[in-house]
Structure 1
């Protein structure tokens, strides 16, 4: 089951992100796993948070509501040191594929069958707090004035990792990666393990 997409809510999400980031995104629709699953969008911010980086946000995860569950109230974001906008679409591709089957909880690792972007071996995601480079609150309130209720969306960071790192995180915890000497924004970085 999907909550009815409210175009005004989407506009508020884009406006609040764009206001914080200081620019408008390139908005791309990503096909959902099943046509009835509802829309998923990738919001691509080039040269954000600084020149030579790309940032991407999802919109569509917070719309999902399972038959017996509350809305997820989450959206994903990613920051990469790259000019390739395909990196910014990775969170939306993941949401489109797994929405309704995955809670997208911080601390989770999610695998993919192949590298997310050609010429990179990164094929999994580690979910955590959003990148501090974005200077973004962990939650965005999409309520409009006079609504009387809040509509908070939690922003969850998605960090690309290697399959070998995903396996070690499953075995030993995310600290193995977080506490290593790694650059989470480098698409060509070497594997930690």
Structure 2
């Protein structure tokens, strides 16, 4: 029987079209939890870096009644620091952040030198089939009930966009004319 991690990895491999991943490990800041593994896929589409975490779903959060979360990022960049930021956020905020659509994460400093962006918002993952990222059953033999994971997307934001989202909501920001995967873009507001 496949382990929980193997089932998740198999699903992420399908989402990536069978591309080969590079694995990065983030040591856990919590002695109660194992580290976070980030699977990085470069070039799924021209000039795009995609990364998925595994380890957020090992934490508990009171808001996660039906399913837990894992994170995804898709950016037009070849800088692996974006994936490292995803790992950092996953480890540092698991169990405290709901990672619900519209949540924001403010790092307070630029993620990479190539971009002015300092924050992220959570929304549906930037994948061809975002519906295939909800309710992934990673249950193993002996587990009572279902062990479900939802993969959510993190999108880099400028500070002014994060403030706009807080004032006007996620839908208002998403309706703006902007490319959420472009890390070099000007602010949408």
- TM-score above 0.5, yes or no: yes
**What pairs with 1:149-160 in structure 2 (closer than 5 Å)?**
149-160=145-156
Cα shift at 1:119? 2.4
Where do 5+ consecutive residues of structure 1 fail to align? Answer: 1-6
**What pairs with 1:16-35 in structure 2 (closer than 5 Å)?**
16-21=11-16, 22-35=18-31
1:30-51 Cα deviation digits (max 9, x unpaired)? 1333344321111101112x12
2:169 is aligned with 1:170: no
Cα shift at 1:131? 1.1
2:71 is aligned with 1:76: yes
Q: In the aligned structure 2, how far is the partner of 1:32 from the partner of 1:111?
A: 20
Whether the 8 Å contact between 1:27 and 1:44 is mirrored in structure 2 is yes
Cα shift at 1:163? 1.1
Q: In the aligned structure 2, how far is the partner of 1:191 from the partner of 1:78?
A: 19
Cα shift at 1:174? 1.6
2:107 is aligned with 1:117: no
Whether the 8 Å contact between 2:52 and 2:72 is mirrored in structure 1 is yes
Q: Secondary structure at the match of 2:50?
A: strand
Instruction: Count residues in correspondence.
Output: 186
CA RMSD of aligned residues (A): 2.6
Q: Secondary structure at the match of 1:77?
A: strand
2:47 is aligned with 1:59: no
Q: In the aligned structure 1, how far is the partner of 2:97 from the partner of 2:122?
A: 12
2:94 is aligned with 1:99: yes
Q: In the aligned structure 1, how far is the partner of 2:32 from the partner of 2:142?
A: 32
Cα shift at 1:103? 1.3
Q: Secondary structure at the match of 2:128?
A: helix
Where do 5+ consecutive residues of structure 2 fail to align? Answer: none
Whether the 8 Å contact between 1:20 and 1:136 is mirrored in structure 2 is no
Change (3 A) 1:72 1:141: closer
Whether the 8 Å contact between 1:56 and 1:89 is mirrored in structure 2 is no
TM-score normalised over the length of structure 2: 0.86
TM-score normalised over the length of structure 1: 0.84
1:53-79 Cα deviation digits (max 9, x unpaired)? 110111111000259976961101010
Q: Secondary structure at the match of 2:41?
A: strand
Q: In the aligned structure 1, how far is the partner of 2:70 from the partner of 2:63?
A: 20
Cα shift at 1:16? 1.6
Q: Secondary structure at the match of 1:114?
A: coil
Q: In the aligned structure 2, how far is the partner of 1:83 from the partner of 1:12?
A: 28
